[in-house]
């Protein structure tokens, strides 16, 4: 998709986000992945932990027959008593991204909510297709539960969430945790999650008004092909293929009107609701994939407020004003 075709829905995009419409499109290939990853890494802005009143340290989570999983552990500097835990999974289409890229929002989340947050630097595809990314993230959930006492975390108030592919992995963790019965999850916090491998494939192109900015159909096909490898598209790795939605955790489902994932997110939320799962569904008009990464926009500020409020409710935390 070139910039000319992307301009077809430019008039529907919030004016503060037009920089995303003007950005050159990149065709993802295995050969250019190192460059793509380095470009994303170079754009990272880290949080000011001192100003936020939080700490951030690297921890290593053991994994059977594999190297330890690198994670970042965020904690509030000052707190009293037990708090909640939040397992965060970063985005990047299953083929990119890093824990540092979510540093600003994760630092803010810990500062405002007083939650203990663990974010997982999971292995990326295509070098590490399924089940590797989910194994890494599930190990993070296990570590958070196993260290709950020393972290002063209430095991009954541990949630999981993420953005894009991170949201997809969070949904997959929720399914795996339910089916394995090992660790309780009280809330899943899904920001335009990448959960259906069919989106953007022949016969499943979807609404032409979505998917023209940031994450396109072409990128989505590449991401899913890299992630699945030769494996079948089944749950939990592909959450939309799950047979039963019953007993999944209460959910905050966020999506955007121009996001390629909009309709798969709405369908997933509807199925959760039909299964009796308490579910909030939020859709922002004028927004597209990655919109909240554009600095100093009204939609970005609105998202951060909604994110904090919903996560506070999901983890039974009182949000600071």
Number of other residues whose CB lies within 10 A of the CB of residue 172: 26
List the catalytic residue out of 14, 103, 121, 259. 259
Q: Which of 98, 102, 164, 240 is flagged as catalytic?
A: 164
Tell me whether residue 289 is one of the annotated catalytic residues: yes
C-alpha separations of 30 from 121, 125, 256, 295 in Å: 20, 10, 28, 30
Q: Which residue from 155, 156, 118, 154 is spatially nearest to 137, judged by alpha carbons?
A: 118
DSSP symbol at 2: -
User: Phi, psi at residue 95, to the nearest 5°?
Assistant: -120, 0
CA dist 15 → 9, 98, 296, 299, 320 (Å)? 12, 29, 13, 11, 31
The C-alpha R_g of the chain, in whole angstroms, comes to 18
Whether 102 is catalytic: no
Give the DSSP H/E element, type plus range, for residue 3.
Answer: helix 3-6
Strand locations in 238-294 (E): 251-256, 279-284
| Helix boundaries (H) for 114-164 | 132-146, 148-151
* Active-site option among 90, 187, 289, 307: 289
Classify 147 as helix, strand or coil. Answer: coil
Does 309 qualify as catalytic in the annotation? no
Neighbour tally for 208: CB within 10 Å: 10
Query: 80 with 105: CB under 8 angstroms?
Result: no
Q: Looking at the annotation, which residues are catalytic? A: 164, 259, 289
């Amino acid at each position: 998709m070139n910039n000319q075709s992307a301009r077809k829905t430019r008039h529907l995009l919030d004016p503060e986000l037009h920089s995303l419409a003007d950005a050159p499109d990149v065709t993802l290939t295995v050969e250019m992945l190192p460059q793509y990853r380095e470009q994303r890494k170079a754009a990272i802005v880290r949080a000011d932990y001192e100003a936020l009143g939080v700490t951030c340290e690297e921890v290593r989570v053991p994994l059977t027959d594999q190297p330890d999983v690198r994670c970042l552990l965020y904690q509030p500097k000052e707190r009293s008593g037990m708090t909640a835990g939040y397992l965060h999974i970063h985005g990047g289409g299953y083929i990119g991204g890093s824990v540092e890229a979510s540093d600003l929002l994760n630092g803010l989340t810990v500062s405002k909510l007083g939650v203990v947050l663990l974010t997982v630097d999971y292995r990326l595809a295509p070098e590490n297709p399924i089940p590797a990314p989910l194994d890494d993230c599930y190990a993070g959930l296990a570590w958070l539960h196993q260290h709950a006492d020393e972290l002063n975390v209430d095991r009954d108030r541990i949630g999981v969430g993420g953005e894009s592919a991170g949201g997809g992995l969070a949904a997959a963790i929720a399914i795996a945790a339910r089916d394995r019965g090992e660790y309780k999850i009280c809330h899943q916090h899904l920001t335009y999650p990448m959960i259906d491998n069919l989106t953007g494939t022949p016969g499943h192109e979807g609404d032409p008004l979505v998917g023209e900015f940031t994450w396109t159909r072409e990128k989505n096909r590449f991401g899913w092909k890299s992630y699945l490898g030769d494996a079948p598209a089944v749950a939990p790795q592909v959450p939309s293929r799950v047979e039963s939605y019953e007993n999944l955790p209460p959910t905050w489902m966020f999506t955007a009107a121009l996001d390629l994932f909009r309709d798969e997110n709405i369908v997933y939320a509807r199925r959760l609701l039909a299964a009796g799962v308490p579910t909030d569904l939020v859709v922002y008009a004028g927004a597209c994939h990655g919109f909240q990464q554009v600095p100093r926009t009204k939609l970005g500020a609105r998202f951060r407020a909604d994110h904090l409020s919903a996560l506070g409710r999901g983890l039974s935390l009182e949000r600071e004003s």
